[in-house]
Amino acid sequence: MTKTVGSLPSVDLDLNDAKRRYHFTFTREDHERLPFYSALMTALEEDHTSLRLLASVRMEQRNPMLILAALHLCALTGHPILGPIYLDARHGRLGDPVGAASTVIAVLNDEPELVANELHRSTQTNEPGRSAIFQALIAHIARDRAEVINVVDVGTSAGINLYFDQFPVKRVDDDNPLTLVCRDETLVDRSIPLPRVSARVGIDPSPLDLDNEGDRRWLQACLWPEEPRRLDRLEAVIQHRTSWPTTTILTGTARDRLSDALDQGDANALTIVMNSYVVGYFSEVDQTSYFETMTQHCASSNVAWLSLESPFMVQWPTSSRSSELARMGATQVLVTLPGGEPREWGWCHHHGHWLNLSIPA
């Protein structure tokens, strides 16, 4: 029998799975630097309505970030209670993060439809901080191999990381909102020149359009209010991108559009396919298929593959979960060179805050 609480059916929902996902989504570092979102994530994990909401999401998008983004969207669109809380969080004015999180949970229980109505969406953060990682890796991949490359971004959202070479990367922040701050924990050589990019191609089942107000608002909602630098950077990208190189975004899945994407650009150039925190949203069958397809392309053609994914979200033979960095929530850096096989090149922060590069000999 279907039991309904509020507007949410609770039949056949795996609440234990939802609880586990809330519990393991944030890294220790995230909990330490995000007092409001840390308290909110902990409260979501213990709240029955929140568990049912997440458990009701289709498996490929069952990520607590979708719940956080839906709540943030409500705040951005003027909810009378959530709006002031999230605004204070953005400006560092929340004196009681735990109390604020409790208030958000109370709103969620009173008005679950606010979030339920947005669960058809996908988390499409399109985090440009990862371009700091892409820059270092692409420079190493292209060195002595290619002066010109084509870039394909799988799960491109609005295509922001197709502009990976347009962001200054520094160890210390400055007044430029486009600056990416990355702590290189190993001898990452940032003096290696980046190759010229002939074609920039993205693939996404539901690409976002930076010219569309609703899409821009959703991108804002997918960011975290306690990180105003990321929100400022998105606004700067929207402002500057009209002067940046042209991109091509193909609508569809990697399974359906990868061949089309590989046909774009300079046929004599090295093509680098990259993905970051997207494969975890594929079905298990599609994860396996994508791994095999990319491995075959790299083995037989002038294609390199650069993958930034959590080993706990992606089921590949190369997914390493035993290292201390993996247990702390780090992202595995997997690189496949033309003619080679997938190999681990190190670890990084999921938003590009640091890179621990260890290129195999």
Q: What is the pLDDT of residue 26?
A: 87
pTM of the model: 0.87
Alpha helices in 34-96, H assignment, sequence order? 35-46, 48-55, 64-76, 82-90
* pLDDT exceeds 80 at position 2: no
* pLDDT exceeds 50 at position 211: yes
Looking at every residue in the chain, the average pLDDT score rounds to 93
* Band of residue 6 on the pLDDT scale cut at 50, 70, 90: very low
Q: What percent of the chain has pLDDT over 90?
A: 85
How far CA 94 is from CA of 27, 37, 83, 331, in Å, comes to: 22, 11, 13, 30
Q: What is the pLDDT of residue 11?
A: 56
How far CA 72 is from CA of 6, 35, 85, 89, 202, in Å, comes to: 21, 16, 10, 11, 26
Check if CATH label 2.60.40 holds for domain 128-357.
no
Q: Which of 89, 1, 104, 8 is nearest to 54 (CA)?
A: 8
Mean local confidence (pLDDT), 162-179: 96
Could you tell me if 125 and 157 are in contact, meaning their C-beta atoms sit under 8 angstroms apart? yes
pLDDT digits (tens, 9 = 90+) for 314-359: 989 999 888 777 777 899 999 999 999 999 999 999 999 999 999 9
Mean local confidence (pLDDT), 282-303: 96
pLDDT digits (tens, 9 = 90+) for 245-267: 999 999 999 999 999 999 999 99
Q: Which of 24, 26, 218, 21 is nearest to 125 (CA)?
A: 218
pLDDT digits (tens, 9 = 90+) for 134-146: 999 999 999 999 9
Q: What is the pLDDT of residue 8?
A: 56
Count of Cβ atoms closer than 10 Å to residue 245 Cβ: 13
* Band of residue 87 on the pLDDT scale cut at 50, 70, 90: very high
Q: How far apart are CA 219 and CA 217, in angstroms?
A: 5
Q: How far apart are CA 33 and CA 10, in angstroms?
A: 34
Q: What is the pLDDT of residue 325?
A: 79
Boundaries of CATH 3.40.50 in the chain? 128-357
